Amino acid sequence: MTRLSRCIATALLALAIGTAWPAQAQDKVLNLYTARHYQTDEALYANFSKQTGIRINRIEGGEDALFERIKSEGANSPADVFITVDVGRLWRAEQAGIFAKIKSPLLESRIPAAYRNPEGQWFGFSARARVIAYNKNTVKPGELKEYEDLANPKWKGRICIRSSSHPYNLSLTGSMIAHLGEAKAEQWVRGLAANLARNPQGGDTDQLKAAAAGECDIAVANTYYFVRLMRSAKAEDKAVAQKLGVVFPNQQNRGVHMNISGGGVLRNAPHRDAAVRFLEYLASDQAQSYFANGNNEWPVAAGVRTNNPELESLGKFKADAINVGLLGKNQPLAQRIADRAGFK
């Protein structure tokens, strides 16, 4: 072999090695766009990487900003998985066509049909119930049994709730539309708006604190905010929770309204296999238990131990079995109803 031939052979070998290594490295990477801003999720990512050797590159941001970024990046997007809270945002992403359709027997067996897209475009991995909290000094147990009760004139000037335009409330109104129809849902929203103790302000924790302080008697909030107060290291937070009772509405009929935190594999995911493995990991007992213990959310997979006594202390309840995707579909109408009803 001549010197020139050896140089050419060496160059070709180097080129072959150079192209092979990035491909191997590529299989060990997952690019995650997430709108979950909970520090407790760090353990989820670390455990996944430890078990699989797949390194997670994480981009965090607001739901809308990440959604628009994925759309603008198009086919060149490096994102593999998009995770967000509230099913309305998942439904919007589905409608925009950014999710791939995933066929995973594991996900289909682990995630209840009510908490996933029928075509496998997105899956819910943790659930939160939207409950009614009440000041135990001013409201008697049993006075509130259903969401419909919030529109009763009896509660005029006594209810605190965050903005009607927040996705959590849009999903709640979306469930009322699904069960009652548009006309009765609008009547309910008008009644609720007429019963507010103040203009909507702040988040769910602010509503709970206001009810405990006597600024109102009733607050509407997701369960994990209440349990977060119960588990807080601050005495004043624990005191708030102790002053409040919790109602899981509509236990005699459809069940309490549920929302999810979830995600899906993106259509242009460069690391599709790693993305599917990540979603399947989130459905595992370990991850499901961590959702419960880390952020006080309910596991969606059956039979998972939460290791969260405070969460379990809320008791067993009947959950609405409606597919949550319908709630997302109803959100635009829910906003129009709120606007018509003057619910800010």
The confidence band for 15, taking pLDDT boundaries of 50, 70 and 90, is: very low
Sole residue written with tokens 């969606």: 300
Expressed as residue numbers, the domain containing 324 is 146-256+319-341
**In this predicted structure, what is the pLDDT of residue 294?**
87
Question: Does one domain contain both 263 and 240?
Answer: no
Domain-located, residue 37: yes
Which amino acid is present at 39?
A: Q
- In terms of phi and psi (left: phi > 0; alpha: psi -120 to 50; beta: otherwise), the region of 57 is beta
Per-residue pLDDT tens for 198-247?
999 999 999 999 999 999 999 999 999 999 999 999 999 999 999 999 99
Average pLDDT across the chain, whole number: 91
Q: Are residues 250 and 281 in the same domain?
A: no
Residue 109's CATH number: 3.40.190.10
Inside any domain, residue 70: yes
Band of residue 27 on the pLDDT scale cut at 50, 70, 90: low
Q: Are residues 106 and 231 in the same domain?
A: no
Q: Is residue 12 part of a domain?
A: no
Q: What is the pLDDT of residues 249-308, one digit of tens each?
A: 999 999 999 999 999 999 999 999 999 999 999 999 999 998 888 889 999 999 998 989
pLDDT digits (tens, 9 = 90+) for 63-97: 889 999 999 999 999 999 999 988 999 999 999 99
Contacts of 144 (CB under 8 A, 6+ apart): 132, 134, 150, 218, 247, 249
Judgement on whether residues 184 and 332 belong to the same structural domain of the protein: yes
What is the pTM (predicted TM-score) of this model? 0.88
Give residue 298's region: left, alpha or beta (phi > 0; psi -120 to 50): beta
